[in-house]
Chains A and B, each alone.
Chain A
Amino acid sequence: DADVTQTPRNRITKTGKRIMLECSQTKGHDRMYWYRQDPGLGLRLIYYSFDVKDINKGEISDGYSVSRQAQAKFSLSLESAIPNQTALYFCATRGAGSHTDTQYFGPGTRLTVL
C-alpha cells in the first residue's frame, strides 16, 4: 500500500551495529505499529503509538526502541543488532474512530543481521 512506506526495503548488517528502520504514512492515521514477522510465527507486535506523545511496548520490545517524530513518521531502532533479530519488519497504521479497526501495512523491510 503506497500510503504506508518503509525504508530501507532490504538491509544487511553486522552484529553490534545500530540500525534504524523508518516508516511514513500519508493516510492521516494517528495510530502506528511496528511488527516483526518470522517464518512459522506470524506477526508479533514490537511497539505501538497512539499519537506523537504516546509510545507503548508490545509483546517483544526487548532490544528495540522507537521514535514518533511526527504523526506521519514512526521509526524503529535496533541499538545493537544481533542475529536473532533477522526478520521481516512491518509498519502498520490505523485511524482512531474509523469505521473499521483494520490496520494497514507497509511493504516491509527485510533485515539480515550477520
Chain B
Amino acid sequence: GESVGLHLPTLSVQEGDNSIINCAYSNSASDYFIWYKQESGKGPQFIIDIRSNMDKRQGQRVTVLLNKTVKHLSLQIAATQPGDSAVYFCAERPSGGSNYKLTFGKGTLLTVNP
C-alpha cells in the first residue's frame, strides 16, 4: 500500500475481484481524508471522503475504512472493472490553522486484468 511518502506501488487484480488499496498517513491531527482516482492523461477525480469521526463510509462499489489508532486508510473497490484501472491516491487535511490545504500521497497504480 501507499504512504504519504513512498514510491508508487502497484496492484494487479482480475476483473470481478475486489481491490484493496492502502494508505498510511503521518499526521495524527488530520481530520479529513479523501480518495482520488487519476486516469492516464486526466486530472484527479474525487471518489469518496471520510471525516475522522467516522471509521467507515460507503459509496457506489467503494468503501473507505479509517483506522485512527494506526493512522491507516483503505479504499475497497468491489467487483473491480477494467475502467477502474488508474492511479489511486489518498489525501489528508490537518485540523486547525492549516486546514486550507491537503497533503497527497504518491498513489497506487491499479491494473485490472480482463
Cα–Cα, bound, A40→B105 (Å) = 10
Chain A 43-59 per-residue mask, 1 if CB under 8 angstroms from chain B, else 0: 10100101000001010
Q: How many residues belonging to B are interface residues under a CB distance threshold of 8 Å?
A: 23
Q: Decide if A41 touches B106 in the complex (CB within 8 Å).
A: yes
A40 and B106 in contact, given A101-B93, A105-B43, A107-B43 (Cβ under 8 angstroms): yes
Chain B residues near A41: list those with CB within 8 A: 106
Q: Which residue of A40, A42, A101, A107 contacts B99 across the interface (Cβ within 8 Å)? A: A101
Task: Determine chain B's interface SS by DSSP, over half rule.
Answer: loop
Residue A84, interface by CB 8 Å: no
Contact A50 B89 (CB under 8 A): no
CA of A101 to CA of B44, assembled, Å:
15
The reply to whether A40 and B8 form a contact with Cβ atoms under 8 Å apart is yes
Tell me which of B4, B44, B45 has the highest count of chain A C-beta atoms within 10 A of its own C-beta.
Answer: B44
Q: Would B100 and A50 count as touching, CB distance under 8 A?
A: yes
Q: Is the CB of B100 within 8 A of A108?
A: no
> Are A108 and B105 in contact (CB-based, < 8 A)?
no
Q: Which residues of B contact A33 (CB under 8 A)?
A: 101
Which of A4, A42, A58, A105 contacts B101 (CB under 8 A)?
A58
A73 to B34 Cα, complex, angstroms: 25
Residue of B at shortest CB range from A110?
Answer: B41
**Contact residues of B between 28 and 46, Cβ < 8 Å to A:** 32, 34, 36, 41-46
Q: How far is the CA of A71 from the CA of B51 in the complex (A)?
A: 28
B interface residues with partner A (beta carbon < 8 Å): 4, 7-8, 32, 34, 36, 41-46, 49, 89, 93, 99-102, 104-107
Which 9 residue pairs of A and B lie closest in terms of their CB atoms, listed nearest first?
Answer: A105-B43, A43-B104, A42-B106, A42-B104, A105-B44, A107-B43, A108-B43, A102-B46, A106-B43
